[in-house]
């Protein structure tokens, strides 16, 4: 599981690099007052606050459940 999650993180970072490059190239040519954010190009799970494919609230609920046994 750790290996799959690591692979997923690497893929997300690769996609993030691509979308940052696209934003940089497009923003140079955009008219004044208009900018494009990386989230406009493509949305990734890390944009929604998800860690390891699980959102923060669910992860906290799972931790709480595991603590209570």
Give the count of domains, the chain. 1
pLDDT digits (tens, 9 = 90+) for 25-68: 888 777 777 787 877 777 777 776 655 566 677 777 767 777 77
- The answer to whether the pTM exceeds 0.75 is no
pLDDT of the residue at 49:
65
Q: Find residue 54's DSSP bridge partners.
A: 51
Are the C-beta atoms of 19 and 46 separated by less than 8 Å?
no
**Whole domain around residue 14: which residue ranges?**
2-68
pLDDT of the residue at 36:
79
């Amino acid at each position: 599981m750790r290996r799959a999650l690591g692979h997923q993180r690497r893929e997300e970072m690769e996609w993030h690099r691509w979308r940052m490059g696209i934003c940089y190239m497009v923003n140079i040519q955009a008219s004044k007052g208009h900018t494009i954010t990386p989230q406009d190009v493509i949305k990734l799970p890390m944009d929604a606050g998800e860690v390891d494919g699980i959102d923060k609230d669910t992860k906290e609920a799972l931790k709480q459940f595991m603590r209570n046994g």
